[in-house]
Amino acid sequence: MRKPIILIMACFVLFGFQACQQNKEQKQAATVDTIQVTLDSADFSENINGAAVKLITLKNATGATAYLSNFGARLVGLLVPDQHGTLVDVVLGFDKASLYHNPEEPYYGTIVGPFGNRIANGKFKLDDEEYQLPTNNGKNTLHGGMEGVHFANWDIKEANGKVATFAYTLPDGKEGFPGPIHMEVTYSLSDNNELTISYKATTDKKTVVNLTNHAYFNLNGEGSGSILDHTLKLYADKITPVDSTLIPTGALQDVEGTPFDFRTSKTIGADIQADDMQLKYGKGYDHNFVLDGTKVDGLNHAATVIGDKTGIKMEILTEEPGIQFYSGNFMADRVTLKKGVKDSFRTGFCLEPQHFPDSPNQPNFPTTTLNPGETYTSKSIYKFTTNQ
């Protein structure tokens, strides 16, 4: 807050009252462009997979609002205040539920599972039994396969304006995974603008689970252009480097001296064009960062991101050991988003708290195996403040 006041005062001294007033008005006009999109429940009450899906709204005392759909248990809109108190929709998505039911749709706001991220060659072994999954990303399986859980109509177990819980059972053998796997995802929005997502899963047969949310964020507001000037800090001193198909080699690589060093805040765009093999493989950032264990309230502090135009600051705290940072490299004007703009190159980024990619085939990575009788739990918090 102090900086704009100093700037306005300097402006008065240099250019006089009228010019500064105009400047101030232009600044305010700029924030109007990022103003809220209010989703209409009629557009989210369509029949998909032969059943009606619903729009669920969580709203807190400050007006911050999370819009959810039980189709994929998705986060379809998230209004949080910017530095002027204007509500800005910071997640990308569509204004109609059925638009999410499209194979061209790159997992906007959805829960991905039962195994988020890639599994090499769509294969893994549990107790000498080999499972072959359908492949949907070159020779690999990405985000649970063709249907995973993102095209499922989840049951709404609870929705009371502050908390919503969705449940879905993936039948045994669906998308090749042993199961059935019973999953539950709970979203809650606190009065201090924290969106918490909690996950639970149990299984009837030994299986693998890695659940996360796949929201694309733009903290300047959906439709406000490139994310390259956002500043990002990642609490990670290593990544899991990948091969050309984005499967981890199994090694851990220090970020020191590489474009992957986000331990001190820098813009997403600062080093994205660097001559680096990992960046070439990812066509930008598309990598799992190994969290360094910095704790806030007992959770791993994973990331701090700030939108350069709105000053909106998002912090991600998680129980997960890693976070996939994807800089929207495959976004290519394929679909039209809520605000009527295309999903242009790098106009959104994902930060997906999760276990490491291809863990079922990587004995040195933290395990993603879930046994019958055990309960998988995980929690991530997305906390919104402003950079004042």
Annotated binding residues for beta-D-galactose, written as ranges, equal: 117-118, 214-216, 286
Position 365: which residue type? Answer: F
Report 252-311 residues binding ligand BGC (CB under 6 A).
286
Residue 191: partners with Cβ closer than 8 Å, 6 or more residues away: 60, 61, 62
Cβ at position 52, least distance to ligand BGC in Å: 27
Cβ at position 115, least distance to ligand BGC in Å: 12
113 near ligand BGC, judged by CB under 6 A: no
Nearer to ligand BGC, 131 or 330 (CB): 330
Coil/strand/helix, residue 298: coil
Cα–chain center distance at 17: 44
350 near ligand BGC, judged by CB under 6 A: yes
Burial grade of 251 (CB within 10 A; 0-12, 13-18, 19 or more): exposed
Nearer to ligand BGC, 246 or 291 (CB): 246
Q: Which of the following is catalytic: 150, 214, 301, 355?
A: 214
User: What would the two tokens of residue 160 be?
Assistant: 């009371």
326 near ligand BGC, judged by CB under 6 A: yes
Cα separation, 331 vs 216, in Å, equals 11
In the list 44, 71, 100, 107, the residue contacting ligand BGC (rule: CB under 6 A) is: 107
C-alpha to C-alpha distances, 87 to 143, 219, 359, 381, nearest whole angstrom: 31, 11, 39, 20
Nearest to 330 by CA among 108, 139, 175: 108
Nearer to ligand BGC, 330 or 345 (CB): 330
User: Catalytic residue at 352?
Assistant: yes
Contact 374, 181 (CB under 8 A): no
How many Cβ atoms are within 10 Å of 73's Cβ, its own excluded?
Answer: 33
Nearest to 228 by CA among 286, 265, 267: 267
In the list 330, 342, 345, 379, the residue contacting ligand BGC (rule: CB under 6 A) is: 330
Cβ at position 107, least distance to ligand BGC in Å: 5
Q: Where are the alpha helices (DSSP H) in the chain?
A: 2-15, 17-32, 277-282
| Binding-site annotation, residues | 117-118, 214-216, 286
Q: Which of the following is catalytic: 105, 287, 352, 355?
A: 352
324 near ligand BGC, judged by CB under 6 A: yes
Quick note: the x/- pattern for ligand BGC over 352-371, rule CB under 6 A, is x-------------------
Instruction: Give residue for tokens 């400047």.
Output: 23
Nearer to ligand BGC, 87 or 108 (CB): 108
Nearer to ligand BGC, 117 or 203 (CB): 117
Coil/strand/helix, residue 284: coil
351 near ligand BGC, judged by CB under 6 A: no
- Residues assigned a catalytic role: 214, 352
Binding site for ligand BGC (CB under 6 A): 106-107, 246, 286, 324, 326, 330, 350, 352
